[in-house]
Chains A and B, each alone.
Chain A
């Protein structure tokens, strides 16, 4: 059974169709990457699946309509890292990560368990945020904030990750670390990742399947080699992608 299945997803806002008739499915072990130029609808697909924007079509999670899940029930299975997280008040990094455990003790008088502490601790360690746990979110850098929210997602202990540009704002060391971490996380059974990755090289290096989007529609979908074929990419990006990528990476040859 697919972990996540999207059928004929269409998102409209203000009379404009942002995503049209998108279908995808996520099997255990998949790292499906959504690629495409700006405005192709990548983030909107993530937002629709995470129930943040209204949509038409069907989204099934573990074989059930995703809308039938209670919010806390869904949050225990599906972790979402959105783009552009900004915090309005001076919550500490640890407080934000701890919110990731809300779904496990959502009842009115619950005050958390030792298991919650363990997950929070592990998530802070994994993302390298343990040392800054007491720091106010208002003084964290963009990369640190991104790692804080990533830690929150790991604290949720989900089976499926929806990641919108997970390495946004991150320096090279953390980019590498986070991608390797997600790759390691994915080795456990019954897990899958759907992510938006802007950087085509990273998408190609880590994804197991890809969907290339063009102005809200799927241009091609399937295994990496097929989706990343020159004809597909060149048409969507309106440039010779391979030539550009080679020219850039050649700079690194000694």
Chain B
């Protein structure tokens, strides 16, 4: 499709301003509220490597909130991008990154790591995160090989069905492990509900690299996703290499989901709801939908994380609980209002 179907620079500037405003808000507000001016000053001085004056809540801003808010924004953008891509690829508005079953697989890896203390020797992140990534990739291989065995054309319905069954199987395994690992139950439960507490700058860099790589792959396939969203056979008729594009998109989505789950746990509904909201604003064309979804996902998750931090202050809620509570209600409202327009 022609380039004028995508966004212009001015749109991206507007999206960026919106996302940055929410980001500043999220860094300022919390158990201790910090004035906007001080926050901006601390961040600016830190970026320019200048000295930061005393009493400016430096450690709260730089060591706690900023890495967390950045991680949250990147996870939100990634999950939303994956959801938008999967909804187009599978031509199913109920799909999201977890439809393939990869996020369940990643969760299983993390649960095994927490419950049994398994570590992978020689692996750079040889803990929960490493296991989650490894299992995410393993799940993708398992799901695709099983789908291929059942149906060599890799039909969409086969993949969805195998993904759902795989998720159920993996959830059963997780319950089994949890049953036998009562001493770690709190850590496991907290992790499966999703949390980005204690995110570090190395998490931010991992997320940024994964999002840049996988996001580029997905956004470059926007035209093919448009063809898929119109219909898989139609995509084939207009000349899309259906199997190849499907594999590329699924691998990119799985890799990105794997990284997100390994860092933030299971955060539901972002990948499902935000592409819907975005479609109402940007329309179904993936050239606009995918980039807009990333900004919307980042904003949505940053606000959800803010609610998780301040709603029952000093108690902090798991972010997955907040997104699911808001997301479920929002989804019903959006779906009801947009049945004729999405």
A69 to B229: give the CA distance in the assembly, Å. Answer: 24
Contacting residues, chain A, for B153 (C-beta < 8 A): 54
A254 to B88: give the CA distance in the assembly, Å. Answer: 54
A136 to B227: give the CA distance in the assembly, Å. Answer: 15
Interface band, chain A: 35 or more
A95 CB contact (under 8 Å) in B1, B93, B240, B279: B1
CB of B149 to closest CB in A, whole Å: 15
Q: Which of B157-165, B167-175, B231-239, B250-258 contacts A (4 or more CB under 8 A)?
A: B231-239
CB-nearest residue of chain A relative to B242?
Answer: A71
CB-nearest residue of chain B relative to A114?
Answer: B2
A112 to B230: give the CA distance in the assembly, Å. Answer: 19
Q: Interface digits, A137-172 against B, CB 8 Å rule (1 contact, 0 not)?
A: 111000000000100110010000000000000000
In the complex, whether B284 has a CB less than 8 A from a CB of chain A is yes
In the complex, whether B336 has a CB less than 8 A from a CB of chain A is no
Given the known interface contacts A52-B236, A136-B341, the answer about A98 and B1 at a Cβ–Cβ threshold of 8 Å is yes
Q: Interface digits, B273-295 against A, CB 8 Å rule (1 contact, 0 not)?
A: 00000010001110000000000
CB-nearest residue of chain B relative to A91?
Answer: B284
In the complex, whether B20 has a CB less than 8 A from a CB of chain A is no
Q: Interface digits, A30-58 against B, CB 8 Å rule (1 contact, 0 not)?
A: 00000000000000000000111010000
* Cβ < 8 Å to B, chain A residues 95-115: 95-96, 98-100, 102-103, 106, 108-109, 111-112
B234 CB contact (under 8 Å) in A89, A99, A136: A99
* Cβ < 8 Å to A, chain B residues 209-247: 220, 223-224, 226-227, 229-231, 233-234, 236-242
Would A138 and B233 count as touching, CB distance under 8 A?
no
Contacting residues, chain A, for B234 (C-beta < 8 A): 82, 85, 99, 149, 152
In the complex, whether A121 has a CB less than 8 A from a CB of chain B is no
CB-nearest residue of chain B relative to A80?
Answer: B237
In the complex, whether B58 has a CB less than 8 A from a CB of chain A is no
Contacting residues, chain A, for B239 (C-beta < 8 A): 71-76, 102-103, 106, 156
A88 to B240: give the CA distance in the assembly, Å. Answer: 18
Given the known interface contacts A99-B234, A117-B2, the answer about A91 and B226 at a Cβ–Cβ threshold of 8 Å is yes
Would B284 and A90 count as touching, CB distance under 8 A?
yes
A87 to B223: give the CA distance in the assembly, Å. Answer: 16
Given the known interface contacts A76-B239, A89-B279, A103-B238, the answer about A82 and B233 at a Cβ–Cβ threshold of 8 Å is yes
A54 to B151: give the CA distance in the assembly, Å. Answer: 11
- Interface residue tally for chain B (C-beta within 8 Å): 34
Would A82 and B237 count as touching, CB distance under 8 A?
yes
Would B340 and A138 count as touching, CB distance under 8 A?
yes
In the complex, whether B179 has a CB less than 8 A from a CB of chain A is no
A86 to B229: give the CA distance in the assembly, Å. Answer: 11
Would A91 and B285 count as touching, CB distance under 8 A?
yes
A126 to B230: give the CA distance in the assembly, Å. Answer: 22
Contacting residues, chain B, for A99 (C-beta < 8 A): 1, 223, 226-227, 230, 234, 238
Contacting residues, chain B, for A103 (C-beta < 8 A): 238-239
Contacting residues, chain A, for B220 (C-beta < 8 A): 108-109
A103 to B224: give the CA distance in the assembly, Å. Answer: 11
A156 CB contact (under 8 Å) in B5, B223, B231, B238: B238
In the complex, whether B182 has a CB less than 8 A from a CB of chain A is no
B284 CB contact (under 8 Å) in A86, A89, A112: A89
CB of A210 to closest CB in B, whole Å: 24
* Cβ < 8 Å to A, chain B residues 71-98: 88, 91-93
Contacting residues, chain A, for B236 (C-beta < 8 A): 50-52, 71
CB-nearest residue of chain B relative to A70?
Answer: B241
A50 CB contact (under 8 Å) in B223, B237, B279: B237
In the complex, whether B342 has a CB less than 8 A from a CB of chain A is yes
CB of A7 to closest CB in B, whole Å: 22
A96 CB contact (under 8 Å) in B2, B223, B230, B341: B230
Would A88 and B91 count as touching, CB distance under 8 A?
yes
A109 to B220: give the CA distance in the assembly, Å. Answer: 7
Given the known interface contacts A82-B233, A86-B231, the answer about A111 and B1 at a Cβ–Cβ threshold of 8 Å is yes
CB-nearest residue of chain A relative to B339?
Answer: A138
CB of A212 to closest CB in B, whole Å: 26
CB of B245 to closest CB in A, whole Å: 10
CB-nearest residue of chain B relative to A139?
Answer: B340
Q: Interface digits, B1-33 against A, CB 8 Å rule (1 contact, 0 not)?
A: 111010000000000000000000000000000
Given the known interface contacts A88-B91, A116-B2, the answer about A95 and B226 at a Cβ–Cβ threshold of 8 Å is yes
CB-nearest residue of chain B relative to A98?
Answer: B1
A67 to B250: give the CA distance in the assembly, Å. Answer: 24
* Cβ < 8 Å to A, chain B residues 305-342: 340-342
CB of B153 to closest CB in A, whole Å: 7
Question: 26 A–B contact pairs at CB < 8 A?
Answer: A51-B236, A52-B236, A70-B241, A73-B239, A74-B239, A82-B234, A85-B234, A87-B231, A89-B342, A90-B283, A90-B284, A91-B226, A91-B229, A91-B230, A95-B226, A99-B227, A100-B238, A106-B240, A108-B220, A112-B2, A116-B2, A117-B2, A138-B340, A149-B234, A156-B238, A156-B239
Q: Interface on B for A, CB 8 Å cutoff?
A: 1-3, 5, 88, 91-93, 152-153, 220, 223-224, 226-227, 229-231, 233-234, 236-242, 279, 283-285, 340-342
Closest 7 CB pairs of A and B: A75-B239, A103-B239, A89-B284, A111-B3, A72-B239, A112-B2, A80-B237
